[in-house]
Amino acid sequence: MDPRRTARTVSGPKVRQVGFFTPAPPERSISDPPRFQDPIQPPSPSPTQVNDHSPSGNSLSPVMIPPAHHHSDNFLRTALQVTSPTKAFSYSAKTVTIPPENEDVASSFSPGRKVFSAKSPSSFPGVKASSVPASELTTVSVVNLPPGISEKAGGASVEVQNDRPVSAKTLKEKTSKAERRALQEAQRAAKAAAKAEGTKASSAASKVVTSANTKPSKAAKSSSQKNDGSQVAASEKKGGDRAPEKDRKKDAPHPRMQYDDKSRVEKAKKRAVVKQTEARNRVELFRHLPQYEHGTQLPDLETKFFELDPMHPAVYKVGLQYLSGDIRGGNARCIAMFQAFKEAIKDYSTPPEKTLIRDLAARISSYVSFLIECRPLSISMGNAIKFLKNRIAKLPLALSESEAKSTLMLDIDRFINEKIILSEKVIVKHAVTKIQDGDVLLTYGASSVVEMILLHAHELGKHFHVVVVDSRPKLEGQLLLRRLVRKGLSCTHTHVNAVSCIMQDVTRVFLGASSVLSNGTVYSRVGTACVAMVAHAFRVPVLVCCEAYKFHERVQLDSICFNELGNPDAISKVQGREEINYLDGLVNQENLQLLNLIYDATPSDYVSMIITDYGMIPPTSVPVIVREYRRDHLWS
């Protein structure tokens, strides 16, 4: 990290914009990074710029930073991938056994042909049997004919298709660590060299490459295309010119859907895959947030299982799990989503007459909107998606499909490993130093990082007591408690109602967070604010543990404008206690409104310290991290 940091200070003057900014002037916006329809994201000063020596010539960037290392980066990668096909071919042996099926497939285009040839008659082991291809697939009317057939046609082609990406991937991964090391080294070297050379160097380098840590303002997509286009074909220019316009459109802050705007809601509903019945009786203040009748979505989505053709099964599964609440928690949802995307990319093949970059980006967007329909994205997921889309947009055009795919899968792995797992480890390392013998630690809900901190401290032999505060309706704390108790920690369990009573014994409060916003506001499971405030009143330090990839540059002062509404039934009913469901039958009354908020915002005043992968920082330093390191999140 350190060398990068110094590198950045050189380019400081450009980035040092503190506080709020007015939207960039139109000229700037041309070169701003593509917005990728992230509704959460307000317009922001572009952190990501490429030196442009592009034909359009709108090089307004005041500072030119050499896009140094990327040359080597790409070079390394392509060099690596050249070897992969050989590996892939070794799999062809597998397909040998099934040629008859393939023949069938090939012939299946002749409609109405009745073939009673003994198709692999002896291939049934043991029993005497033969399969008769009675009717051939001749679906001309189906739109997705070519992929459909190739996917479904017998076993052979499926295996071939599946195996190839796998092989590429394994190879990729085998070398990935070494490669990553080499890459990093190369980057550093290049950066150092570039620094020495000064801004002039950029002109030479930028011709070839997409850049990672460079600043000058240029839309990532268009520039990468252009830069490569200059090598590949001049005709690519046209596409390059069109891109900025698109970007400009996207640049306008994508307004978040306001769900009290009826006409818009109707429109959105028409697009929606998941059947969304708006819940009645919503609380006035929260009308702008989406709230659907729970319980209708899941069965409906389930019945459509086979009908959502473009949806990848892995993505679909994750969506179902979001919807049914099988996966929750920012990190878990993010990892699950990325793993699903990885699967989807693995099985992706570019349709004819389309470019991978655009088509895949569109594909990912459709997946994302499906996931949003299942459950609104968390901020961490938004950031992760932004990262992935950036990576897709920045893929060099010259890359072959398999190379591009393996690059992306590698990127996803790296994101999970570095941004989530490594940073959790670092946070644990930092936080453990704050735990001393005899401490009484309080935590609220179930945060994966806090759990790891507690377990790690326990492993180190520290003697401390844990208070797990929980709240209805999710009772996530109980799951945490269960795991802690099994590991032998001494615990107290209480509900949030009693937090003021127990707080006087507590020496530290550890909280997880869904996100930390740039004014230091901690956006987390509802109830966190309450716990933090009580702790503040008792002068107990509140330590918020949050990975840096969850930071967001948005500023939020209350928990009203952005939030998520849960199932209102969850608070009106007590599971397993039929006898105390006093609200039965009242739920649909006009004058009863149920509010089940999922998140709340804790003002930074109540937070003593934020423990993140860059160290322990005061909440006021969050904007610095967001500004300084966001490039890392997006580009690395």
Partner 1 sequence: MDFQVVVLAGGNSKNLTPLVSKELPKPLLPVANCPVLNYVLHQLEQSNLKDLIVVVEGEDAALLVGAWISGTFIDRLHVEIAAVPEDIGTAGALRAISHHLTAKDILVVSGDLVSDVPPGALAATHRRHDAAVTTMLCSIPVCGPLESGSSGGKDKAKKLGRYNIIGLDPSKQFLLHIATGAEIEKDARISKRILHAVGQMEMRSDLMDAHMYAFKRSVLQEVLDVKDTFQSLKEDVLPYLVRSQLKSEALLNRTPQGEENSNEKVSSQNNQAFISRILANASTPSFHGIYSENPDGSSSTRKTHKCCVYIASSSSYCVRLNSIQAFMDINRDVTGDADHLLSPNNIIGPSPKLGTKTTVGPNCRLGEGSEMGDKCQVKRSIIGRHCRIGSHVKVVNSVVMNHVTIGDGCIIQGSVICSNVQLQERVELKDCQVGAGFVVTAGSEYKAESLAKKEK
Is residue 577 within the footprint of partner 1 (CB under 8 A)? no
Is residue 152 within the footprint of partner 1 (CB under 8 A)? yes
CB closer to partner 1 out of 57 and 576:
576
Is residue 295 within the footprint of partner 1 (CB under 8 A)? no
CB closer to partner 1 out of 126 and 585:
126
Is residue 20 within the footprint of partner 1 (CB under 8 A)? no
Q: How far apart are CB 372 and partner 1 at their closest, in Å? A: 19
Q: How far apart are CB 15 and partner 1 at their closest, in Å? A: 32
Strand-by-strand arrangement of the 439-444 sheet: 490-495, 464-470, 439-444, 508-512, 542-545, 609-612, 615-617
Is residue 411 within the footprint of partner 1 (CB under 8 A)? no
Give the residue, chosen from 76, 137, 265, 432, that forms a contact with partner 1 under the rule CB under 8 A: 137
DSSP string, 62-73: SS-----THHHH
CB closer to partner 1 out of 56 and 339:
339
Is residue 332 within the footprint of partner 1 (CB under 8 A)? yes
User: How many residues lie near partner 1 (CB under 8 A)?
Assistant: 81
Alpha-carbon separation of residue 421 from 227, 296, 452 (angstroms): 34, 36, 11
Is residue 256 within the footprint of partner 1 (CB under 8 A)? no
Neighbours of 375 (CB within 10 A): 23
Alpha-carbon separation of residue 438 from 18, 196, 451, 498 (angstroms): 42, 53, 18, 22
Of 60, 354, 366, 357, the closest CA to residue 222 belongs to 357
Is residue 326 within the footprint of partner 1 (CB under 8 A)? yes
Give the residue, chosen from 19, 143, 306, 588, that forms a contact with partner 1 under the rule CB under 8 A: 306
For residue 3, the surrounding DSSP H or E stretch is helix 2-10
The two most distant CA atoms of the chain are separated, in Å, by 84
| Residues 337-396, interacting with partner 1 (CB under 8 A) | 339
Is residue 624 within the footprint of partner 1 (CB under 8 A)? no
Is residue 293 within the footprint of partner 1 (CB under 8 A)? no
Is residue 75 within the footprint of partner 1 (CB under 8 A)? no
| Residues 448-467, interacting with partner 1 (CB under 8 A) | 448, 451
Of 544, 453, 467, 466, the closest CA to residue 500 belongs to 467
Q: How far apart are CB 552 and partner 1 at their closest, in Å? A: 21
Record the tokens describing residue 463, joined without a space. Answer: 């003697």
Give the residue, chosen from 229, 244, 290, 329, that forms a contact with partner 1 under the rule CB under 8 A: 329
d(CA 94, CA 485): 50
Is residue 275 within the footprint of partner 1 (CB under 8 A)? no
CB 382 within 8 A of CB 333: no
| Residues 89-118, interacting with partner 1 (CB under 8 A) | 108, 111-112, 114, 116
Give the residue, chosen from 333, 363, 389, 573, that forms a contact with partner 1 under the rule CB under 8 A: 333
- φ and ψ of 538, to 5 deg: -90, 5
| Residues 471-530, interacting with partner 1 (CB under 8 A) | 479-480, 483, 486-488
Peptide bond just before 85 cis, omega within 30 deg: no
Is residue 139 within the footprint of partner 1 (CB under 8 A)? yes
